[in-house]
A and B are shown apart, each in its own frame.
Chain A
Amino acid sequence: MREAFACALVLALGGAGTGLAQGGAEPIGDAERGAEVWVFCSGCHQIGPDAEIGIGPPLTGIFGRRAASVEGFPYSQSMQRMGRDGLVWTLKTLDAYIEHPAALVSRTRMSFDGLEDAQERADLLAFLRDFSAKPSNIPEAPPTARADLPQLSEDTLAIVGDPAYGEYLASECQTCHQQDGSDRGIPSITLWPEKNFVLAMHAYKQKLRPHPVMQMMASRLTDEEIAALAAYFGTLTQ
């Protein structure tokens, strides 16, 4: 940690791109170590002034960009919907996406399970940050301002849901979502792994996911109720 910090500081003094804030603000991460993490992304994504569409969309200027907005890239339906609903890539939303892509964008085409290590994500974000506009050249300025990133505690994730309660709560979901799992204009919510379901609902509750109806529905659910829903929809898979 200390080494990483020192390294970023050197880069800052050298005038190269950096994830370090001026005026003592907290750094996003270590952009140089982020460049090492980027190697895994670079099989599909390009970045830099000449970046083009590859297997994935180019990530130059990703901060502040609306999801699914690179012209000509065949985004998944899920990603397109997120873009229409107003998902914008910020430090907060990108961090959530990289941590667990399917929890933020259910059926994303990005075949990547997620990066669990928060430090590695921070380093990668610091690296990506150098290829986006830098208002006032302060990394903490919008669109990369770091809001308090809500985290799910192990305790929350460990809650064992009550499927009978979940069945009652699910009746409210099924006013719109088809119980047979078909998508007739509103996405399917059956056959989801429980953890993904819990993460997705918390992402709406914490307003990381943008859809206003879902934010409203999730906002009044307790952690136990979210677990109950996940448990009930989990039983449908058997």
Chain B
Amino acid sequence: MTLNRRSFLGTGLAVGAALSAPRVIGQARPRVVIVGGGAGGATAARYIAKDSAGAIDVTLIEPTRTYYTCFFSNLYIGGFRDFASIGHSYGTLASGYGVNVVHDWVVGVDRDARTVTTAGGHSMSYDKLIVSPGIDFVDGAVPGWDISAQNKMPHSWKAGSQTQLLKAQIEAMPEGGRFCMVAPPNPYRCPPGPYERISMVAHVLKASNPTAKILIVDPKESFSKQALFEEGWQKHYPGMVERIGPDFGGANVSVNPDTMEVDIDGSVEKVDVCNVIPAQKAGHIAEAMGLTDDSGFCPIVPATMQSRVDENVYVLGDATIAGDMPKSGFSANSHAKVAAMQVRAALTGSRAFPAKYSNTCWSLIDTDDGVKVGASYAPTDEKIAKVDGFVSQTGEDAALRKATYEESLGWYAGITTDMFG
């Protein structure tokens, strides 16, 4: 049943692409509207504009004027980057690539009429729509916490003022105080991210507040790069980090932001800073457009990144159900390149090549102690499937760990140029 539906979609797309190519030539330039200017949306905008050399009209709608990357925001918390260094503007996309950058919120999409409406009252039509909305939080995921409590208990899982707030709270902790993280259940943005954050918080506290303690309340049995992080915490921050997994009630947690209390399976703990990272779902606009399924995320066609529910819509990044790929900036950037190629092929008749996806996540445990995990992926009919992968090993020598960290700096410079020009 499912297979039939998929093959029907696939056939429909191929015919659609073949017919639409000659149709648009000679007409006004085909229009692509991109919703969301993060790792997925910015990359898609740049690649479509660059590779179509003006043949496609590209509009990027993003509310913020400066985009702060979630990746490397933990390094800012740890004092390894300044805040400005993780901020990026859209100036080069506009001036260097001719992208029409609109700083506004999308409030409505009519998929039948193929129009997008913004909070500023503008309406834009599209031939192809690319949606890269990132994540939002599941309401009620952590009882006692909602978005109105985010100043008392920051999530800091979308980078920007929330990241600055969390850093300030850590620095203001009383001597011997307690930092608590309520870690998210799968699936969530950046699988090693919470544990890199713990490492960075420990790095700061070790220097400024060495008797402080860190508590992780975690609903998951295990987590990304677990052996590497636990080895690193033991080595660099002995006795500082305690993790309560589901076997000790880590999945049964509620918080009280007013009293700064965390209730772990009936045992109430008073803490000084509480970083609540709730369960996640696709960014709200994807849900409003009807692109999500019961999981809260968007099913996609593995070979093209098209939405399973609308062939004129492509979904990228954390909002998607991307098979074996983790939710990461690297993955979103990888999705965007496949989608950009497919969109160009559909609108201008340019060549389409087989999709290849990849991801690598670097994490910093302490100064010059970097680790990484990565994999390559290819589409099957069913999902984006892992082809090959690697992960750093425990016990690696210091020179390799330093090189891995330095490599991550090179990657950050590379991917942010790849996104924003």
Q: Which residues of A contact B (CB under 8 A)?
A: 81, 84-86, 164-165, 167-169, 171-172, 174-179, 183-186, 212-213, 215-217, 219-220
Contacts and interface: CB of A to CB of B under 8 A. Distances in A.
B403 A81 contact: yes
Contact of A164 (B351, B375, B409): B351
B406 interface: yes
A15 to B, nearest CB: 40
B378 interface: yes
B374 A216 contact: yes
A215 B374 CA distance: 11
A84 B376 CA distance: 23
Contact of B414 (A164, A169, A184): A184
Contacts of A84: 399-400, 402-403
A86 B396 CA distance: 11
Nearest to B357: A172
Given A84-B403, A186-B407, A175 B376 contact: no
Contact of A174 (B341, B388, B409, B414): B414
A238 B418 CA distance: 22
B67 interface: no
Nearest to B417: A178
A165 B356 CA distance: 12
Contacts of B351: 164-165
B8 interface: no
Contacts of A186: 407, 410-411, 413-414
Contact of B358 (A85, A172, A185, A215): A172
Contacts of A167: 51
| Chain B facing A: main interface SS | helix
B411 A183 contact: no
B334 A176 contact: no
A85 B388 contact: no
B387 interface: yes
Given A85-B400, A183-B410, A172 B337 contact: yes
Contacts of B238: none
A223 to B, nearest CB: 15
A178 B388 contact: no
A172 B355 CA distance: 11
A176 B406 CA distance: 12
B415 interface: yes
Nearest to A180: B417
B410 A179 contact: no
B348 interface: no
Contact of B372 (A178, A179, A213, A215): A213
A85 B403 contact: yes
B68 interface: no
Given A164-B351, A169-B356, A185-B407, A216 B376 contact: yes
A177 B413 CA distance: 9
Nearest to B337: A171
Which of B351, B407, B409: most chain A CB closer than 10 A? B407
Interface string B379-421: 0000000011110000000011011001111110111011000
Given A84-B399, A220-B378, A175 B414 contact: yes
Give the one of B356, B378, B390, B408 with max A CB within 10 A.
Answer: B356
B389 A216 contact: yes
19 contacts: A165-B353, A168-B337, A171-B337, A172-B358, A175-B414, A176-B410, A176-B411, A177-B414, A178-B413, A179-B417, A185-B411, A185-B413, A186-B414, A212-B374, A216-B358, A216-B375, A216-B376, A216-B389, A220-B356
Contacts of B353: 165, 168-169
Nearest to B356: A172
B333 interface: yes
A81 B402 CA distance: 11
A141 to B, nearest CB: 26
